[in-house]
Structure 1
Amino acid sequence: KAVFLPNDRHGFKGNAVLDFDHRIELIRKAITGQTTENRNAPPLYPGIECWDADSRQYGSGWTDELMQRLSGQYPDAYFCFVIGADNLPSLDRWHNFAWLAENVHFIIVPRLGQSDVSPLRGLGLGCRLPVCRGSASLHTLPKMVSPLPGLSLRFSWVEMPMVPVSSSDIRARIRTGKSISGLVPELLEPDIIRLYSDE
């Protein structure tokens, strides 16, 4: 199962461009395909869910506290935390990084401008990485442990094609009146245009 966990209080970015409730609504609509007119339609992606477990009402917004809370709620689950490679340069500055390094398996996906794991070398990590093909099952991911002074860090690198567009590109297109057709799910296009036109 894959779960989207929008963050209500980002430690590095400050206030989000779009409020938490709207982001939850858009994600759920994208993965279920359900609207007010077809609430009983089968979900588009049955193996994907969106939880509000990282909202302000549950805590600080720190990833380590979120993962500790989820691990307590689901003690038999093996959690992997998916991050974009653009997070790598700041990973060692995440709150309670030592706990995260010991307890969380990171799955790293390429992002525009950051398509390799070279920033991990700055954390004292070995460069040999397990590679997960796009079709790999989470159950078959290798559990690699790499050396870190006094710590270990579990991570997997996913090879996948990158989409050459960013959320800031989409917002810029909306502000300038350009089409975003084909860049966002068709079902969400009217909502995204409406929400970001108000920026």
Structure 2
Amino acid sequence: MKKIGILGGTFDPPHFGHLIMANEVASGLNLDAVWFLPNQIPPHKVKTSSTTTEERLQMLEIATESHPLFRIETIEFRRNGPSYTIETMEILSKQYPNHEFYFIIGADMIEYLPKWYKIDELVQLVRFVGVKRPGYTTESKFPIIHVEAPLIDISSKMIRNRIANKETIRYLLPESVRIYIKENHLYGSK
């Protein structure tokens, strides 16, 4: 049975917080791979970005290409409507019956788990892996495997805001992603 980590998100843009979390969980749980699962329409967020699905995918490919265990799963890009994790994991579980899935979430999402769509069914399909994040608790009534990782307080929203305010984003995300953002004038960059 292969052990596969799943890291979902908008990745708008992907940053070192995402990459460190995936790497630490892969190492800590001895996973065979980590699949990055970009959302088409996250049910818990209002779309505030001007980037396209293709631009987000390109940035994620650039960010993950050098890691041998990282891969991108675009199943949610091929579906219409909100990206509910339960529906995605039902499909992946059927497609990959010999895989055990570890769904990686930051502490902000651990607090939000009771609000997830069909959470009681989802915990039967995946094992949740929680990673600490500054300012959040990791306590939950749901079973969570906790993995320690360096605490880096970076968010995609913070990066977008810094770009909009003409502030530096250097060292917050891979240099190749920063260059892609600049060359493609994303998030109001010039």
Same fold (TM over 0.5): yes
Superposition RMSD in Å: 2.0
Q: For residue 56 of structure 2, what is the aligned residue in structure 1?
A: 23
The answer to whether structure 1 residue 96 and structure 2 residue 118 are counterparts is yes
What is the CA-CA distance between 1:26 and the residue it aligns to? 0.6
TM-score, length basis structure 2: 0.74
Structure 2: 5+ residue runs without aligned partners? 1-32
Q: For residue 104 of structure 2, what is the aligned residue in structure 1?
A: 82
Read off the aligned partner of 1:65 and give its amino acid letter.
E
Tell me the distance in 2 between the aligned counterparts of 1:100 and 1:54: 16
The structure having more radius of gyration, on CA atoms, is: 1
Query: Of 177, 181, 188, which aligns to 1:192?
Result: 181
* Identity rate, percent: 31
Read off the aligned partner of 1:64 and give its amino acid letter.
I
Q: For residue 145 of structure 2, what is the aligned residue in structure 1?
A: 156
Q: For residue 129 of structure 1, what is the aligned residue in structure 2?
A: none
Query: Of 10, 26, 43, which aligns to 2:42?
Result: 10
Q: For residue 16 of structure 2, what is the aligned residue in structure 1?
A: none
Q: For residue 110 of structure 1, what is the aligned residue in structure 2?
A: 132
Tell me the distance in 2 between the aligned counterparts of 1:103 and 1:57: 20
The answer to whether structure 1 residue 166 and structure 2 residue 155 are counterparts is yes
Tell me the distance in 2 between the aligned counterparts of 1:75 and 1:59: 25
Tell me the distance in 2 between the aligned counterparts of 1:188 and 1:103: 33
Tell me the distance in 1 between the aligned counterparts of 2:82 and 2:42: 9
Q: For residue 54 of structure 1, what is the aligned residue in structure 2?
A: 76
Does the 8 Å CA contact 1:9/1:56 hold for their aligned counterparts?
Answer: no
TM-score, length basis structure 1: 0.71
SS at match of 1:24: helix
SS at match of 1:80: strand
Q: Deviations over 1:114-161 (max 9, x none)?
A: 1x313x1xxxx3xxxxxxxxxxxxxxxxxxxxxxxxxxx442111111
Count residues with an aligned counterpart: 155
Does the 8 Å CA contact 1:83/1:107 hold for their aligned counterparts?
Answer: yes
